[in-house]
Amino acid sequence: MYKDEIFEYIQEEAKRQKEGIELIASENYVSEDVLKAMGSILTNKYSEGYPHKRYYGGNEYIDKIEEECIKRAKELFGAEHVNVQPYSGSPANLAVHFAFLKPGDRTMGMDLSAGGHLTHGFKVSISGKYFDSVSYGVNKEGYIDYDDVRRIALEHKPKLIWSGFSAYSRIVDWNEFRKIADEVGAILVADISHVAGLIAAGLYPSPVGIADVVTTTTHKTLRGPRGAIIMCKQEYGELIDKAVFPGLQGGPHNHITAGIAVALKEAQSDEFKEYAKQVISNAKTLASSLADKGFSIVSGGTDNHMFLVDTIKSIGKSGKEVSDILESVNITLNKNAIPFDERKPWDPSGVRIGSAAVTTRGMKEKDMFQISEYIYRALYDSSEDNLKRIKDEVKDFSKKFNIPGI
C-alpha cells in the first residue's frame, strides 16, 4: 500500500502541539465538529458567485450552508450585511480597500510597531503600495492617543480609516474613531480579528453599528477555521460583495464556509461565553505573574487575550532570542515589535503572548502561574541542562490537557 510521508508529518505536528504550550496570540484549536466540516466532501464543489446566483450548477446545498453561515454571523454580531467568502483576513481587508478606494487614495491605520497589521497600510504590504497610507501610534504608556489620531486625520484627510489591531492589549474606543472619521469624511473600518470571540461573548465592545465596515478572521478567539468575514451597513453590501467576487477572488472554499458556520453556532453557547471569560482572566493572570517576576509589560497589562513584553528592557534579550529559547523548551510565542521599537522586525525588542489556545485546552489561572515560572526559569538560565529539564517538565505538564481532534 502506498504510504505518503505527509501523514507522518501531520502526526508529528499533532505530537508537537500535544507536548507544547501554545502562546501565539493568533492561534487556537478548533472543535472536532469544525474539523469534520473542514475535512468534508464540500471541498469537491466549485461555487463561483453567491447563493442562488452561481456560475456553476449543483449548488443547492452549498447555498443552504452559506446562507446559514451568513444568518449565524448576523445573529451573533448584529450585522446588517455579511460576506463569508474571504479566504482569510488579508484578502478581506484588501477587498475593503478595493470597495472604497482607487489606487493612490489615502488610508490611515495603526503603525505596525504600535500594534497595527500589515494590511492596514504598512508600506511593504499591497495595502501600502497601491494606496497612500499614513499611520498613527500609541503614547509612551502604550495607549491610543485619540487626540493625536484626530490631529493626523485632520492633517492628511484620509478617505478610509482603519481601527483595530494585531498587537494591542487595551480597549479600543470605537466611538472616538467614529467621530474622527466623520470629521474628515472618511469611511471607518474596524478590524476585530483578534477580539471577535470576546465581542461575540459580550466581553469586549463591539464596533458593529458604529464602523461602516467590520472585518474579522474566523480563527483566533472565535475558534473557527482559517477564514474571514466582512460585515457592513446594508448600504455598502453590494460594494463589498463585488470587491470580494469577482473583484478579488474566485469561488469560495465551501468546506471552510461550513466550518465557520459550525464555529459561529458554538460561539452562541453559554459554554463559549465561559471560555471567553477564562481567556481574559488567564491573560491578565499571566501578564501579572510575569510582571511580578520583573518583566516589562507594554501598557502595564491587558484587557483582552494578549499582551506585549519588552524583552530588551526586561532581560536584555531580543524578541527573537526569547522566542528561540522558549521554543527549545516547547513554549511557542512570536517575536514582535513594541511601540517606538528601533530594532528590525525580524529581530524586534519584544514578544507577543496570548491565552486563547491554552484556555481551549482547559488551563486556568493556576496554570498561568506555572507557565510564567517555566518562562522565567528558561530565560534566566539558558544552559543546555536547564533547558532540557524544563522541556521535559513542559511535556509532562502539557500532556495533562486535551486538544480537540488529537
- Cell 474606543 belongs to 173
C-alpha 284/C-alpha 355 separation (Å) is 9
Which candidate in 22, 66, 111, 191 is catalytic?
191
C-alpha 402/C-alpha 365 separation (Å) is 17
46 in catalytic set? yes
For residues 105-126, one letter each, b for 16 or more C-beta atoms within 10 angstroms of the residue's C-beta and e for the rest, the string is ebbbbbbbbbbbbbbbbbeebe
173 in catalytic set? no
**Element holding 150 (H helix, E strand):** helix 146-156
| Alpha-carbon torsion, ordered 336, 340, 344, 346, to 10 deg | 0
Residue 163 near residue 177, CB atoms below 8 Å: yes
Show Cβ contacts of residue 53 under 8 Å, excluding neighbours closer than 6 positions.
none
C-alpha 110/C-alpha 353 separation (Å) is 19
C-alpha 32/C-alpha 50 separation (Å) is 28
Which candidate in 33, 48, 63, 105 is catalytic?
48
β-strands 228-232, 81-83 pairing = antiparallel
- Measured in whole angstroms, the distance separating CA 365 from the mean position of its chain's CA atoms is 22
Which candidate in 54, 74, 159, 226 is catalytic?
226
359 in catalytic set? no
Say how many C-beta atoms besides its own lie within 10 A of residue 134's C-beta.
18
270 in catalytic set? no
191 in catalytic set? yes
Q: How much helix, strand and coil, in percent to the nearest 5, is found in the chain?
A: 50, 15, 35
C-alpha 209/C-alpha 66 separation (Å) is 23
Which candidate in 215, 217, 221, 311 is catalytic?
217
136 in catalytic set? no
Residue 355 near residue 306, CB atoms below 8 Å: yes
C-alpha cell at 257: 464556509
Which candidate in 18, 19, 27, 46 is catalytic?
46
Distances (CA, A) of 221 to 27, 149, 196, 218: 8, 27, 6, 8
Q: Which residues are catalytic?
A: 46, 48, 191, 217, 220, 226
